[in-house]
Amino acid sequence: MSSKNIPVRERLIFALDVASHSEAKALVEKLGDSVLFYKLGLEIFMAGDYYGLIEWLLQRGKKIFADLKFFDVPQTVASAVRQLRGRGISFCTVHGNGRILEAAVREKGDLKILAVTVLTSLDQRDIEDLGFKVDIKNLVLSRARRALEAGCDGVISSGLEAPELRKELGRKFLVVTPGIRPVENRPADDQKRTVDVREAFRNGADYIVIGRPIKNAPDPKKAAEEVQETIASVFREG
């Protein structure tokens, strides 16, 4: 389990995946103090005025994870990361090889750079379809090792691979785990390599990212508080 000095209620990151700022703000207001950390991804980025929404959240004491998954030539990625720093953002995500990750790290300033290993929407068959003739756990481990060598602060990883990462690479880096599902996936769910809240933290995650299971709940604030209670119980148990 994570031994880092992270406030327990900040370990839940809510994926603010909605189509407009009005919808985003209404959801944030509804969630209130049940969520302190928000992930802003590509959908809300495309709604426009990304920095305006970030400022609005910061004014309400929220923390920000800019999940834009930069992947381009090193200089372009470096320039993009430079645009994010100094704005009160905590994390941002980067894809790519060693040179791309190193370029991002050089420009990170006050940001923490998280390297994407393998998306939780991909399973072994998907990896093989992409041309990788390797076990998915080995691919995650290889990419995580490269990311840490490049100076990244942590990785995005399924909770299924987190134990191996901790065993092989230690406990000093951040592991942020998306694809959290409270129950067995339904066929329509696009997440494939999932764990539940308790399993994620037991496997070594520092943070979890949850979106639809909270957003689509009859009472999103109640659902978020239930997740917070589960997280708190995991860390009380130790």
Residue 89: partners with Cβ closer than 8 Å, 6 or more residues away: 54, 64, 65, 66, 111
**Residue of 122, 142, 203 lying closest to 167 (CA atoms):** 203
Q: How far apart are CA 12 and CA 8, in angstroms?
A: 8
Q: How far apart are CA 140 and CA 32, in angstroms?
A: 35
Radius of gyration of the chain (CA): 17
Q: Given the residues 69, 112, 137, 221, select the one marked as catalytic.
A: 69
**Residue of 118, 121, 116 lying closest to 185 (CA atoms):** 121
215 is catalytic: no
| H helices, E strands: number in the chain | 11, 8
Strand partners, 66: 40, 92
Q: How far apart are CA 180 and CA 213, in angstroms?
A: 8
Active site residues: 69
